[in-house]
Chains A and B, each alone.
Chain A
Amino acid sequence: MSHVSISHLWKVYPSHHDGDAVIALKDVSFDIDEHEFVCVLGPSGCGKSTLLRIVAGLESADYGHASTHGRPSVVFQEHGIFPWKNVEDNISYPLALRHAPRSERKAVVDRLVKMVGLSGFERFHPDQLSGGMKQRVSVARALADNGAILLMDEPFGALDEQTRVTLQQELLTIWEETRKSVLFITHSVDESLILADRIIVMSGRPGHILKDIRVPFQRPRSLAAIRRDPEYARITDELWTLLDQSQAESEEEAAR
């Protein structure tokens, strides 16, 4: 059964330059199955973040609809953790909103702090944490929310490469444990190949789906093993070809 269902989604924005509207999403349709990890890959400005915001219920669609079977939990691009709360209180924020009992909050925080590797930092405030640690807090908060679906909007995009690779590997481990359905937005070919079961490739202006690719690598995955797999080079090549094409198309579009 599909956990996320997106059908014929359109979204337009008023243009800044002239009267014409900018089409952010053009007839986007796809489903995400239960326990499936789906990456949406596309250049910046292809409307992929808008897509996630619509699924999260933060924006409305202009046509078509997105529905989720179960509540989604969101990890945003810029961590978005509260500067006035310490690590513990940031993680348990969703539970506090629901007035969960203290014992439950503590149990959840204890478990998640270990899971995201922040043991010992429970009382730290965000300004004492590195960028990677803040994003770990943000991931833990989404896990504390414990929605059936995890929506991640380029969560590691703002991090340096070493931290990013570490967090990708940790996310894989966490995903093996939780097996949540995931919608993961990224502009990185590498990242999508490492993480996803399926990659939805999108093109920019107007944002539409170019291709839906199944990623064949075995799970549990290790980055090193994937990089040695001959399929890795083949799919990487295919993805780049698609992205280059879409780039050329949108430049043509812009030139007209």
Chain B
Amino acid sequence: MTSSIQEPSQEVRHALKASLKQRKGSRAIRIIGPFTPLALLVIWEFASRFGWVDARFFPAPSSIFSTFVELLQSGVLMDHTVISLVRILVGFTLGAIPGVLVGVLLGSLEWARILFEPIFASMLPIPKITIYPLLMLIFGLGETSKWLIIAIGVFFTVMFNTLGGVLQTNLLLFDVAKANGANPWQQWAGVALPSALPSVFTGLKLALGGSFVVLAASEYVGSQSGLGYMIWSAWSTFSVSKMYVGIVVISVLGYCATSLVSLAQRLLVPWARR
């Protein structure tokens, strides 16, 4: 049997053209998509200038930007930013390292999991920021209490994600290791740890996002420095533009920090990318 390709009829041609046109339309939307935040800023600018919204609460983006430049030139913004970043860095490290270690340990040793997981699980639902006053009582208003409150939040997120990752390990891979004569250490380092790594990174990213929330909150109440303090003090002096600058800077820092962890994940866990 032979078949020949037939020319499409007039009707089919119309339908195909219409369909192509439709797809072009959706492509245009896709191109515009990333720029809609800019449009929002433009609308905000005009709304604020023409008094459509209350400029005391929603100052024009251009005036927020000039406040940003002022704060930058005076060095105030830089000081607060560096102080906040150091707090994040120290607190995050103090929480993440024990988080990974305890997570892998509980995941690998069944008796440890049975004995100790309930302790951590019972403490998990405590909103970590609620114990900040206690930490301030014990450690004072200095840096230690801020490092610790960030570290505690990070620890729980990282620990439970790591534990979950270890428990999800394909049991066949342990069989392969055992059948090839791997000792317990080789099973742990060669199978459990790499299997857990994708979950570890999920935990690290979540924890990092959370640590910026805790940072801001701790700087609101117990501090004379940092971006959180800057936002809070702007409230008491009613410099709303300064508040917005603080909000934007914290958001950008959080975004950059999370992107850094994502980059590390792509480099260290390339097999989980695809």
In addition to A82-B176, A94-B181, 12 A-B residue pairs with Cβ atoms within 8 Å of each other are: A56-B179, A57-B178, A73-B179, A74-B179, A80-B170, A80-B175, A97-B177, A97-B181, A98-B181, A125-B270, A125-B271, A127-B271
In the assembled complex, B259 has its CB within 8 A of some CB on chain A: no
Across the interface, do A93 and B180 meet the contact criterion of CB distance under 8 Å? yes
How far apart are the CA atoms of A76 and B178 in the complex, in Å? 12
Across the interface, do A97 and B176 meet the contact criterion of CB distance under 8 Å? no
Tell me the A residues contacting B by CB distance below 8 Å: 56-58, 71-74, 76, 78, 80-84, 93-94, 97-98, 125-127, 141, 145
How far apart are the CA atoms of A58 and B190 in the complex, in Å? 18
22 A-B pairs with C-beta separation under 8 A: A56-B179, A58-B179, A71-B181, A72-B179, A73-B179, A74-B175, A74-B176, A74-B179, A76-B175, A78-B172, A82-B191, A83-B271, A84-B271, A93-B176, A93-B180, A94-B180, A94-B181, A97-B177, A97-B181, A97-B182, A126-B271, A127-B274
Indicate with 1 or 0, residue by residue over B237-274, a CB within 8 angstroms of chain A CB atoms.
00000000000000000000000000000000111001
Across the interface, do A76 and B172 meet the contact criterion of CB distance under 8 Å? yes
Q: Which residue of A lies closest to B176 (CB)?
A: A80
Across the interface, do B173 and A84 meet the contact criterion of CB distance under 8 Å? no
What A residues does B181 contact at CB under 8 A?
Answer: 71, 94, 97-98
Interface residues on B, range: 20 to 34
Across the interface, do B175 and A58 meet the contact criterion of CB distance under 8 Å? yes
Number of residue pairs spanning A and B whose beta carbons lie under 8 angstroms apart:
50
In the assembled complex, B209 has its CB within 8 A of some CB on chain A: no
A96 to chain B, nearest CB (A): 9
Indicate with 1 or 0, residue by residue over B173-204, a CB within 8 angstroms of chain A CB atoms.
10111111110001000110010010000000
How far apart are the CA atoms of A125 and B194 in the complex, in Å? 15
What B residues does A83 contact at CB under 8 A?
Answer: 271
B267 to chain A, nearest CB (A): 13
B196 to chain A, nearest CB (A): 11
How far apart are the CA atoms of A141 and B270 in the complex, in Å? 22
What A residues does B191 contact at CB under 8 A?
Answer: 82
Contact of B178 among A58, A81, A84, A141 (CB under 8 A): A58
Chain B contacts with A in 35-54, Cβ cutoff 8 A: none
Contact of B194 among A56, A82, A94 (CB under 8 A): A82
Contact of B186 among A58, A80, A97 (CB under 8 A): A97
Across the interface, do B178 and A80 meet the contact criterion of CB distance under 8 Å? no
Q: Which residue of A lies closest to B194 (CB)?
A: A84
How far apart are the CA atoms of A80 and B274 in the complex, in Å? 18
How far apart are the CA atoms of A72 and B181 in the complex, in Å? 10
Q: Which residue of A lies closest to B183 (CB)?
A: A97
Pairs A-B, 8 closest by C-beta atoms? A74-B179, A80-B172, A80-B176, A83-B271, A94-B180, A84-B271, A84-B194, A127-B274
Q: Which of A84, A94, A97 has the most CB of B within 10 A?
A: A84
Across the interface, do A97 and B180 meet the contact criterion of CB distance under 8 Å? yes
B244 to chain A, nearest CB (A): 44
